[in-house]
Structure 1
Amino acid sequence: MKINQLRKIILTGLCAAIIFVGVSLFRIPIPALVGRPFIHFGNTFAVLTVLILGFRYGAVAAMIGLGLFDLLNGYAATAWLTVLEALVLAAVVAVVFKGVNYQQKPRVLKLYAVSLAAGLIKLLTSWLSGIVESMMVGTSFSVAVIRAFLSLPATLINSIVLFLVVPLLYVALAKTVLQRLKI
């Protein structure tokens, strides 16, 4: 096994733990019609992980960190939705990051484009998950669509924080820790 691959595997586990802690330690519950949403930093750390490790390892870390939180904290019935959301989020982040060509011409505005895409896809996937969750308890589709939409305030706040924080943290990490790790 190459040393760089081993380093990425170790960092994947570390990032999964950081994502888990980002959800666990800082939670502000928000009342909602569907589920039990809350404000947290898990998605922000998931996006940073994809930017740092790339799609494959970043997606694995996000799915493990967010999925494990759900399994251990009373959300086991819908953990599969969280894992799917994490996979879609990682894919969108990876595609947009590559599409803006950040590696060739680093610009903070490009990172904000990636963060905006991440926030928007998180809103969409949370809404779709809310529909599925609502229908899992027997709600009709039309009512589920409305209930899921009205349950998005926590996701909106998480998306705004993600949009504002990810570019700043990524630039700070790129100038310090990432140079030493040589990923």
Structure 2
Amino acid sequence: MQRTSNLRKLVFTGLFAAIIFIGISMLRIPLPALVGKPFIHFGNTLMVLAILFLGGGYGFVASAIGLGGFDLLNGYAATSWLTVLECAVMAIVVSSLFKAFKGAKRPLSVGQIITISVTAGVTKVITSYLVSIVEALMVGTSFKVAIVASFLSLTSAAINAVSTAIVVPILYLALRGAFKNRV
């Protein structure tokens, strides 16, 4: 029984990794920025869903493979390690909130899912800002300029955060019945 459960989690981890990769590859809208080459995409939304359905560990692996793999294959290889770190932070934040709300072993309420989604969006903006600073420093920008330029480059992160806060509750509530006894 335990072996079947682990196999299911591995299969769903691979499935989520593929969905995240495809979600970024198929729909992305590049935006101009002072630091990096940001774009609007649904990878973060799908990452949060993976963490909610698979848990922090397997959700992290799925998002690291999906988002990190995209970076490696699409011209972002030098900063793919930063993407994986963002995935780790997001897995810790989202799974911690999920566990805090799930303490009574009841289904999460709409308000709790919205809280998790908004927190994930805010976390993404913060991690994107920090990643942009590191990216700017990697190319030789001074620290003060990196801080300002990174702040001015947060447009796509903010849009991605808003889409995460809106789309995650909708998809989670629509799909949680399907995942209830599967993972």
Sort the TM-score into its range (normalised by shorter chain).
Answer: over 0.9
Counterpart of 1:130 in structure 2 is 132
Counterpart of 2:173 in structure 1 is 171
Counterpart of 2:22 in structure 1 is 21
Secondary structure of 1:100's aligned partner: helix
The offset of 1:100, in angstroms, is 2.1
The offset of 1:90, in angstroms, is 1.1
Cα RMSD for the two superposed structures: 1.2
Offset from partner CA, 1:70-103 (integer Å, 9 cap, x none): 0000000101101101111111000111122374
Offset from partner CA, 1:119-149 (integer Å, 9 cap, x none): 0110010000000000001101111001111
Q: Please show how residues 20-169 of structure 1 align to structure 2 within 5 Å.
A: 20-101=21-102, 103-169=105-171
The offset of 1:112, in angstroms, is 0.5
Q: Distance in 2 between matches of 1:58 and 1:182?
A: 15
**2:33–2:152: 8 Å Cα contact kept in structure 1?**
yes
**2:8–2:182: 8 Å Cα contact kept in structure 1?**
no
Q: State the identity %.
A: 53
The offset of 1:178, in angstroms, is 1.3
Counterpart of 1:12 in structure 2 is 13
The offset of 1:106, in angstroms, is 2.4
Give TM-score, length-normalised by structure 2: 0.96
Which amino acid is the alignment partner of residue 51 of structure 1?
L
Query: How many residues get paired?
Result: 181
Q: Distance in 2 between matches of 1:113 and 1:99?
A: 12
The offset of 1:174, in angstroms, is 1.1
Give TM-score, length-normalised by structure 1: 0.96
Secondary structure of 2:150's aligned partner: helix
Secondary structure of 2:102's aligned partner: coil
Secondary structure of 1:154's aligned partner: helix
Secondary structure of 1:138's aligned partner: coil
Any gaps of 5 or more consecutive residues in structure 2? Answer: none
